[in-house]
Chain A
Amino acid sequence: QQPVQSPQAVILREGEDAVINCSSSKALYSVHWYRQKHGEAPIFLMILLKGGEQKGHDKISASFNEKKQQSSLYLTASQLSYSGTYFCGTDSGGSNYKLTFGKGTLLTVNP
């Protein structure tokens, strides 16, 4: 089952904050976040494991609510370089060896 991401698109001005949500109908072992710029390969941002802590990277952080099977990605004081499509990938564990990605959230940061 593909996780649901919201919003589908968001437009920000440089310096503003944004939250991207990822929700699954299945129990999750981990949530992965990737960013893809137009014409480029997706790049890894972070992994949140079941029972793990909230993670952060520079001004991008994420949380994982295991009970609600939800994860949120927080972008603080956005920069132009944050523009791109953000994908969450979910893993249900059990030697599944696959990530199921959401449809993505297009983030545009304007000057």
Chain B
Amino acid sequence: SAVISQKPSRDICQRGTSLTIQCQVDSQVTMMFWYRQQPGQSLTLIATANQGSEATYESGFVIDKFPISRPNLTFSTLTVSNMSPEDSSIYLCSVEYRNEQYFGPGTRLTVT
């Protein structure tokens, strides 16, 4: 299996600021994904981040708001920019490893 860690585990931020979330996996993986889970809701895919290429964003998500970096096969970051209270969610990193998808523990973000 692949073990994923995320930093920070939670944060409280003021509106208008930005937060960068880190995702580290213990194995080299090609595909990484970022999801958002708003309170009481299911998971929504934000983007797919493959090493060596630009991230692919889902409908409703744009690079200016959620820039993603993927510098190597074990690491990725997601930045939530110019935050508003509507960005309060759990943000989860996920990787594809040996035909299974593994999820990190999530980052709980509260924007005040």
Q: A and B from one assembly? A: no
Question: Which residues of B does A touch, CB under 8 Å?
Answer: none
